[in-house]
Amino acid sequence: MIRLLSSILLAVMLLWPSTALAVESGASLFQNNCASCHPNGENIIRRGRTLKIKALKKRGLDSSEAIAQVARAGIGQMSGYAETLGEGGDVIVGEWVWQQAQKAWTQG
């Protein structure tokens, strides 16, 4: 019985990935690929080009899709990371960055 329930739970998790998993994946992708230049949403290369909500909106990056496009293709001095992030990674990291920006990059 326990084995059957475990199998059902695994199938459900694979068919409907949880928001928590997407958040964890976004955080991990960001930490591994973006945080060296954008710690806590800042920008160590160009101070005004942060990932804070005000700076994003000022540049017209006011959605997770717009952020995903930048992650994928790059913008200005920043190269695109499509290959590095993997298939769909740009969307995951874009959503995560947008969520963090809306929360002023506070943890929790």
Give me the pLDDT at residue 102, please: 96
Nearest to 24 by CA among 37, 13, 12, 9: 13
How many domains, the chain? 1
- Tell me if 49 is assigned to some domain: yes
- Tell me if 74 is assigned to some domain: yes
Give me the pLDDT at residue 78, please: 94
Q: Quickly state the pLDDT bin for 106 (edges 50, 70, 90).
A: confident
Is residue 101 within 8 A of residue 53, CB to CB? The reply is: yes
Q: Tell me the CA distances in angstroms from 1 to 5, 11, 12, one per residue in order.
A: 6, 15, 17
Is residue 29 within 8 A of residue 93, CB to CB? The reply is: yes
- Tell me if 7 is assigned to some domain: no
Give me the pLDDT at residue 16, please: 47
CB burial class (10 A; 0-12, 13-18, 19+) of residue 15?
exposed
- Tell me if 76 is assigned to some domain: yes
- Tell me if 89 is assigned to some domain: yes
Give me the pLDDT at residue 12, please: 47
Tell me, what CATH number does 90's domain have?
1.10.760.10
Structural domain including 66 reads 18-102
- Tell me if 5 is assigned to some domain: no
